Structure 1
Amino acid sequence: MAMAADEIETLIRAGIPDARVEIVDLAGDGDHYEARVVAESFRGMPRVRQHQLVYAALGGRMGNELHALKLSTATPE
């Protein structure tokens, strides 16, 4: 079962309250997304830890309801 882009955004924002989130449906199938997450709370964290926080916010849906997610994270400039 596919996930809606707005649901992904809601989950990420709930888990990372200061995040600015952009979601793009890459294939138009509701199953392959790109997410760009920018958050001040990422400052000083290695990129791997930033990605772990995003995946944690998705609550285990990665690989289940959410098939593929191209993820990029950053801190505000």
Structure 2
Amino acid sequence: MSCHQCDESIFIQKLGRCYRCMAQLSLLSLIGWPLWWWFFAEQPKTVESIGVLFFCVAFSGLLFVHLLFWWYYRIKNSKPSA
């Protein structure tokens, strides 16, 4: 990764701050879920279906955690107006 946060911080500090990671996870989720639905939803117990489902859940889960931290940092850094 080439962004400033990815080069100099540990994993937990990147959550919610790395927009490149969030964009990649969004793209992978948008590609993975329809792929699973179109090709593997009819046979959910096959090895291929479980593998694609595992990756889709992992991409979406990590994206969710990124968005949760992003929201937390935005709330934390907003100052109430007096």
* Higher helix proportion (structure 1 or 2): 2
Flag the structure with larger Rg: 2
Shared fold by TM > 0.5?
A: no
- The TM-score, its normalising length taken from structure 1, stands at 0.26
- The TM-score, its normalising length taken from structure 2, stands at 0.26
